[in-house]
Every structure is written in C-alpha cells, then in structure tokens.
Amino acid sequence: MTFELDRRNLFSLGALFAGSGLLAACAGASGSPSQGTSDVNAQPKAGGEIFYLNAFENAGWAQSQVGSWHALQVWGLFAEYLFYANSKTEIAPHLATGYTHNADFTKFNIGIRKGVTFSNGEKLDAQTVALNLNLVGLGDSSRAIPRVANIPKVYKQATAVSDYEVEVALTDPFPAFIQQLAGSSNAAILAPATIKLPLAEQSDLKNTFATGPWVVESWKAGKEVVLKRRDDYNWPRPDAKHTGPAYLEKITIQQVSQNLLRVGALESGQAQVVHYTQPSAESRLQGEGFKIINAFASGSVWGLHIRVNARNTQDVRVREALNRAIDRQEIINTLYNSGWKVAQGPVNSQTPWAVDLTEHFKYDPARANRLLNEAGWTGRDKDGYRTKDGETLEFIEYPSVFITTSRDDLTLIAQQWKKVGVKLTLKNVDYDNYNTITAVTIKPPVPLYEIHWGADYPTFLWRWWHSGQQNQFGAPDKELDTLLEQVIAAKTDAEVYSLAKKVQQFVIENHYFIPVHEFPQNFSAAGNLKGISTDGYPRIRLYDAWLDA
Amino acid sequence: MVALSTVPRARARLSLPALTLRNAYTLVAALIILVVLAWAIVPGLFTSHSPYAGITREQFQAPSGAHLFGTDQFGRDVFARVVYGTRSAVLTALVAVGIGLFAGSLIGLVAGFFGRAVDAVLGRLIDVLLAIPAFLLAVIVVVSLGFATVNAAIAVGASSVAVFARLIRSEALRVKGLPFVESAYLVGGNKLQVLFGHVLPNTYRSVLALGVLQFGIAIINISALAFLGYGSPPPAADWGLQVANGKDFLYRYPWLVYAPGIVMVLTVLALNQLNKSISKGR
C-alpha cells in the first residue's frame, strides 16, 4: 500500500495556481472585441447573439421564484407587466392602457392593451388578466401556489367587465393598489396555458408563455437560459426607442458565479453583458472602453435592520452607537468607487419621497463610545470587546447570499465596530436556507438583517415594517404602525410622500435601521453593444440594444 | 557472523549523492513543518501585525519589507493572516485526522481481529464509505452540521474514517496470524488483551505514515471547504478563505491568492515527503 500523493495530483495543484494566473492574464489581455463606434452616429442593426452572465441562476422559474435581483433581470426579458416604473421611477402603463378607481379606493378598473399575444399564440384580454391577477392576489392553495406577498391582503377579486377592461375589487380601501401592483416583480402577465399548470410545471421555463420580445428557446436548471427573438412582437413600452421586434436575435444567459470569471469573460469578448461587476474592477473596465451601468432602484439602500426582539438590541443607546460607529465614507472609499453613494436615510436619494437624515447617524465614534458606556457596556474582554455582567457585546449577522458585495461590507463594518468595542460575528449559510435562518420569526431572533430592496412607492415601507406585515424590526411599535397605516390610507401622492418622510424620520431617530450606502444594480457591457438601458426597478432593458460590428 | 558481514555490503550499494539528496528533501520538509508548527503555536513571534485589523488607506500594497506578503482590500497584512491562519489549518487538520484515526482504527481493528460476521458487516460499511467521494461526503456532513471550521474538520475527519479503517483492518489481519500473538494466547491472554496489547501496537507504523499523509489531505480539503464558503466566515484568518477572498483581485493583486496558496502547497508537499520517509523507514 502506498501513502504517497499521486504525483500527477501534485502537478495539478501547481498547475492550478499557475493556470489561475494565466487565466487572469488572458482575461485582461484583449479588449478589442468590445470596442465599437459611438452610439451617436451609428444606425441600429438587427441580428446577432449576446451572452449575458448572471451571478446566480434559478433552478426553477415559477413566478413566485423570480423575486431576486438576479432572477428578475432574466424574467424581465421575456415577461411583461401591466404597469412598470420608467427610468425616472414614474409608474406608467404597458400591457395596461391606464386605470380608474372609485371614490373610496375599493375598486380599480384597468384598461387592457389590444393586439397583444402570448408566445404560444393566446390573446391578451381582460379574462386572461383577471386570471393572472386572481392568482397573484389570492394564490391557489390547491396547487400550492402562494399569493404574491406584495399585493395587499385586501385584494378580493378581479373580473373581466368587457373584453379589454378588468375590475379589481378590494375588501378595504387601498389607494396605492396600482403602485403596489406595479412594484411587484412576481406579477407579470402570463398566458392562461402557463398559469393553469400545477406549480411544478410552472417552474419549467419551457411552459412559460409570456408577451415579451424574446421567448425561451431552451434552458438548463441553474445554468443557462437561451432566449430567441419573437418576430411578431410589436407592443413595446412607451419609453422604447423603436417599435417592432427587438434587434438582438438571441440572448444566452449563463450562470457564472465567480466574479473574476464574469469580468474576464467580458474583457475577452466571450460575454457582452455581466451583472454585478465587483466595484474594484469598474474603473479598469471603464478605461478599457466597457460601459458601466450603475442603476439605482427607487428606495434601494444597503443597510441593516435591527431586530429589536433580539438580545441586546432593545436599548436605543446601543442601536445609536452601532449606527454612529460606521464610517460610511470609508466603506465607499475602500470597497467602492465614485459611482457609489453613502446612504442618506432608509431610501436612496433618487427616491422622490427621500429625506436626508444623515445628521442622525453621522460617523461619531466618540459619541458611540459614550452611549455604550451609558448603556452599561463598560467592561472589556481579552480581545478588547465591551462586556456587561460577563457578557460580550456581540451581534451575529448572516451575509446576504443574494448580492456579491455583502461580505466585504460587513467585514469592514466589523473592523469599524471593533474600534468601539462591539463584536460583529459573521456566519455562513447556504442559498437555500438563508431566508429561513434570517426570518423574523426564527427563535432566537437574528439581531441584524440585511436589506437592499427597492421600494417603488412608500407603501413598501408599510410592507417591510408594519407589525402586521413583514415586521422586519421584530417588535411592534404602535407609533410606527400608526404612521404606516396612515401611509397606506393616504389618497394623494403628496400626502403619501409627506407621511413617508415622517416614517423614515421615526425609524432613523429610533435607530431601528442602519443605512450604509445606496445600492445600485450594476451591469458592465461591451462597448459594441449599443442601446442598452435600465428601467426604474431597475431591470436591464435590451429591447433597443443592438450589436455594432 | 554472516548477517553482520552482509549489512555493510548492502549499505555500500547505495550511492552517496542519492542518499544525501533524499535526506535533504526530508530535512527541508521537516524544516517547513517546523516553521508551520511554530507559526501555529506562537504566531505573535513572527509578525507584529494583527490578522484582523486593517488600515484601509494601506489597501492592496505589494509585498515589501513592511508587509512581506502585501496587504489585502481592507489593508490587512497578508503575512499576518497567513501566519495566524496556520493555527486554524493545523488544529482543524489535527481534529480531522484524530477523528479519522480514532474511528477508523476502531472499526478496522475490530473487523480485522474478530473476522467472520463482524468483518463482513464492518467491511461492507467501509466499502460503502469508500464508494462515496471523500470531498462530497465532507460537503454533505458540513451542510448537515452547519458552516464552521470545526464542523469542516469533523466532516473531513468523517470522510477519512474508511481510509484508516481499511488500512488497520489489513494490518490487523496480518498481525493476528503472527507467532507472537499465538504466544500471547498461550500465556493466558484474553482477546481484548491481545487486541489492545499486541495487535494494536504492531499496526502503528503504517497508521503513522497514513496519518501524516491524511494530515496534508485534511489541510487541502478543509481549505477547499473554506474556499467554497463551508468553513469559517470572514474575517477569519483561514488559508482557504484567503484564497477565496483574493480570487476577485487575482488580476491586479495576485499576492492575495498566491501567498496563502503557496504556503498551503509547500506544507502539503512537505507532509507528503515526510510520509514517504516514514513509510520507507528513514
């Protein structure tokens, strides 16, 4: 019997290191395939295939599974919605023509666009839309299809009142119903042949028939989705720059989870678009002629919810100290670049109802230390962390599995908190278990929970923070609940926005939330891919995109 | 007289340069392992930098006198992280080998010594374990136990149980038929006394060699688990985690990957060389 490592394995080990270096060198060696003429003088050309690289790819594609930033980028290429948020984050109709409502906001009548067909030939009409809305609004327990959580529970029923008009009835007034519907990524309109299937069959993309400019040609679970152009497409959004079919003939979306490999594939011309470029690579790519798109979703801020029902989070002095001990500018300077911004509150500065609350959480380690002393955390353990009655002031966090920058953010925050004696312990969890282990109902509660979600309308704050909804702070606060109830009851945008500002102020003054930086959806694209844009969610828009030779 | 006269002639057949070279390899390997052990036991003697605290304005500094292996994206000293990471690598590998050694030895010893039905049952168990790729088994175990370095060590240890068991079983089969075992029974020894007093001690040499080899394999497997995110989360100073974190910057700042990677490779190669030397009795 021999105990030696196989010599070939040893050579392989060495080759692995040498090869990884070569790979990086090759990846960066050529930028030529991406170089193209400027968008200004060039005329769009139809045809061509592009490769879009995603950091994660779904294994199943039932509509309830497409809520992540990764999935909805893909989903949005072939599925369309009644309403959408344009690049100015304004709600506009797409498959709908508009809507009206009754005086007490319990009935909404939605006009449906004519001449639209699904990729299986079925026609879009009021009956189809009503079927879709009832499925997303009510779910179907007999097929284990959940209702879309963002649709208010006051949803009662949708009925077709004519061929192209649907009436949605609510049990109680909900003035922002259309805004809430428009902001729900799981509420695309699908063909009856798709939505009548059992859940398992809906997860299979070959059964997904939608109205978008591309259709699914093939897919491999967790690996690849291939889309081909739909030649009879002629109902683009009002903000599109052309009508008729899309220019690109084929889009292949592949999962490449390694950040370096996605960027390398783009640089070597093997891919034309990548999602989530590491911020450290952006300036290099820009210098090489690639396009960098940092699209800010309405509301989207990367920050931490403090679960007030968790250990050592009840004292507002401790919560404020956590907020004050974060040097946000250092995070931007160290991990990001000038395209990224420090957060000014729970929602980003592009949001129409944002309010600048920076003064309440400005970096102030001296104040953080004083607050922690006042809260009784005056002892120190052998590593310099604060203690009280023998207990170390420690908080546990599970870095998000959905975004690629979370670990670095939290590592630097741990470094900053250490300076005031607070211990931040990061724990790993896999993709499938992340939502379960960080759920607000889990016992014992996790003290910190990341957020990077978009909020298309202030009613999303109600969804996240009301104790009867997601209850992300973990403990009911009557004052906050009252404010949030006022938000959903308000009847005009001006009124809603004003109340939304009060909500943000309350949340920050009570330090329920730690805003860190604004969170854009980040894409890098080859220079010869013209006409690429994003909408207000933001989702990537390739309908007007074309390849310059 | 005949035996004594033949020994010097047999030694004379070995060429001096070959002998020196082989010993030199072993010496270098031993030195590397000594350094690694010293890093693990007293890391503070080798670096004044903290492996966790970084100075962000000093991020991505190339290797220099101030930072032997450069700095990472948080301005942390990579050499300090490699040195402090050694403790984690060595301790977890020890735990892994310990688990494999203890459980594997017990199963193999009992199977080989008692034979018949016991051997048949335990032999099939070993076969089943051997049929599952060790790394896959480690991933399954660590996913079940939760992501942490200790759990990764347990997982790697569990995946090596069958390897130890197979070896000990074959050694036990060989040793139990030797005359001194028979003599032990004749002087009144019972089965347990013979098993632990005579059979077990005579299987140690092979186990020691395998243990050294498995130590290297455990370092690779635990680092691989950490690389894939199944080990300690950041900011742990863990070799595999350092390679994983550095890979995003490989193009511009290759030392983030190469420094921990080369230390890992050298350690495993050194352990392999020691294994060879032990196996050949030098």
Range of weakest confidence among A79-88, A434-443, B183-192: B183-192
Range of weakest confidence among A65-74, B1-10, B27-36: B1-10
Residue pair A62/A508 in contact (Cβ under 8 Å)? The answer is no
Give mean pLDDT, residues A512-521. 94
**Looking at the complex, does the CB of residue A333 fall below 8 Å from at least one CB of chain B?**
yes
Question: Buried b vs exposed e over B63-78: b needs ≥16 C-beta within 10 Å?
Answer: eeeebbbbbbbbbbbb
Q: Which residue has the higher pLDDT, A344 or A277?
A: A344
Of A261, A212, A279, whose CA–CA distance to A51 is shortest? Answer: A261
With a pLDDT cut of 90, the percent of chain B lying above it is: 44
Asked if residue A39 has pLDDT above 60, the reply is no
Residue pair B33/B273 in contact (Cβ under 8 Å)? The answer is no
- Look up residue A318 and give its two tokens: 């401790």
Asked if residue A268 has pLDDT above 70, the reply is yes
Number of independent structural domains in chain B: 1
User: Alpha-carbon distance B58 to B71, whole Å?
Assistant: 7
| pLDDT tens, position by position, B143-156 | 888 888 888 888 88
User: Alpha-carbon distance A306 to A472, whole Å?
Assistant: 8
| Chain mean pLDDT for chain B | 86
CB contact under 8 A, B147 and A410: no
Q: Which residue has the higher pLDDT, B278 or A289?
A: A289
CB contact under 8 A, A259 and B248: yes
Chain A hits for B52, CB-CB cut-off 8 Å, are 415, 418
Smallest CA–CA distance from A334 into chain B, residue = B56
- Look up residue A486 and give its two tokens: 């006022």
Chain A hits for B143, CB-CB cut-off 8 Å, are 430
Measure CB to CB from residue A17 to each of B231, B258, B275 and give the nearest one: B258
| Chain mean pLDDT for chain A | 89
Give mean pLDDT, residues B69-79. 95
The predicted structure's pLDDT at residue B20: 60
CB contact under 8 A, B74 and A411: yes
Please, what is the Cα angle at A527 between A525 and A529, to 5 degrees? 70
Give mean pLDDT, residues B9-33. 67
User: Alpha-carbon distance A253 to A231, whole Å?
Assistant: 20
**Looking at the complex, does the CB of residue A436 fall below 8 Å from at least one CB of chain B?**
no
DSSP of A78-124: H-B-SEEE-TT--EEESSEEEEEE-TTSSEEEEEE-SS-B-TTSPBP
The predicted structure's pLDDT at residue A10: 42
Asked if residue A125 has pLDDT above 80, the reply is yes
Chain B hits for A330, CB-CB cut-off 8 Å, are 56
A 2-21 residues with CB below 8 A of B?
2-5, 10, 13-14, 17, 20-21
The predicted structure's pLDDT at residue A309: 93
Measure CB to CB from residue B250 to each of A10, A260, A428 and give the nearest one: A260
Test mutation, B57, B71, B251, chain A, max A CBs within 10 A: B251
Give SS3 for A482.
helix
Chain B hits for A426, CB-CB cut-off 8 Å, are 233-235
Give mean pLDDT, residues B152-164. 89
Q: Which amino acid is at A114?
A: K
Asked if residue A346 has pLDDT above 50, the reply is yes
Structural domain boundaries enclosing B224: 3-281
Range of weakest confidence among A127-131, A180-184, A369-373, A420-424: A180-184
Smallest CA–CA distance from A3 into chain B, residue = B210
User: Alpha-carbon distance B210 to B223, whole Å?
Assistant: 20
Dihedral angle of Cα B119, B124, B130, B134, to the nearest 10 degrees: -100
The predicted structure's pLDDT at residue A22: 40
Test mutation, B25, B248, B278, chain A, max A CBs within 10 A: B248
**What band does A40 get if pLDDT is binned at 50, 70 and 90?**
low
Asked if residue A25 has pLDDT above 70, the reply is no
The predicted structure's pLDDT at residue B22: 67
- Look up residue A413 and give its two tokens: 């925050």
The predicted structure's pLDDT at residue A405: 87
* DSSP single-letter state for residue A392: E
| pLDDT tens, position by position, A71-113 | 989 999 999 999 998 877 788 999 999 999 999 999 999 999 9
The predicted structure's pLDDT at residue B21: 63
- Interface size between A and B, measured as CB pairs under 8 A: 103
Write the ipTM.
0.76
Q: Which residue has the higher pLDDT, A111 or B2?
A: A111
Chain B hits for A281, CB-CB cut-off 8 Å, are 251
Label the pairing between strands A273-275 and A49-54. parallel
Measure CB to CB from residue B269 to each of A10, A284, A335 and give the nearest one: A10
Asked if residue A6 has pLDDT above 60, the reply is no
Asked if residue A181 has pLDDT above 60, the reply is yes
Residue pair A400/A70 in contact (Cβ under 8 Å)? The answer is no
Give mean pLDDT, residues A204-214. 96
Chain A hits for B74, CB-CB cut-off 8 Å, are 334, 408, 411-412, 415
Residue pair A477/A510 in contact (Cβ under 8 Å)? The answer is yes
Asked if residue A278 has pLDDT above 90, the reply is no
Test mutation, A336, A411, A429, chain B, max B CBs within 10 A: A411
**What band does A178 get if pLDDT is binned at 50, 70 and 90?**
very high
Measure CB to CB from residue A428 to each of B75, B233, B262 and give the nearest one: B233
CATH number reported for the structural domain that contains residue B87 in this entry: 1.10.3720.10
CB contact under 8 A, B74 and A415: yes
User: pTM score, two decimals?
Assistant: 0.80
Give mean pLDDT, residues B248-270. 92
**What band does B77 get if pLDDT is binned at 50, 70 and 90?**
very high
User: Alpha-carbon distance A390 to A376, whole Å?
Assistant: 12
Residue pair A484/A506 in contact (Cβ under 8 Å)? The answer is no
The predicted structure's pLDDT at residue A431: 81
| pLDDT tens, position by position, A460-469 | 999 999 999 9
Helix, strand, coil shares of chain A, percent, nearest 5, are 30, 20, 45
CA diameter of chain A? 86
Residue pair A368/A420 in contact (Cβ under 8 Å)? The answer is yes
CB contact under 8 A, B233 and A399: yes
Range of weakest confidence among A22-31, A251-260, A401-410, B97-106: A22-31
DSSP of B154-210: HHHHHHHHHHHHHHHHHHHHHHHTSHHHHHHHHTT--HHHHIIIIIGGGGHHHHHHH
**What band does B18 get if pLDDT is binned at 50, 70 and 90?**
low
Range of weakest confidence among A4-8, A149-153, A460-464: A4-8
CB contact under 8 A, B248 and A4: no
Chain B hits for A21, CB-CB cut-off 8 Å, are 250, 254, 258
CB contact under 8 A, B54 and A10: no
CB contact under 8 A, A2 and B279: yes
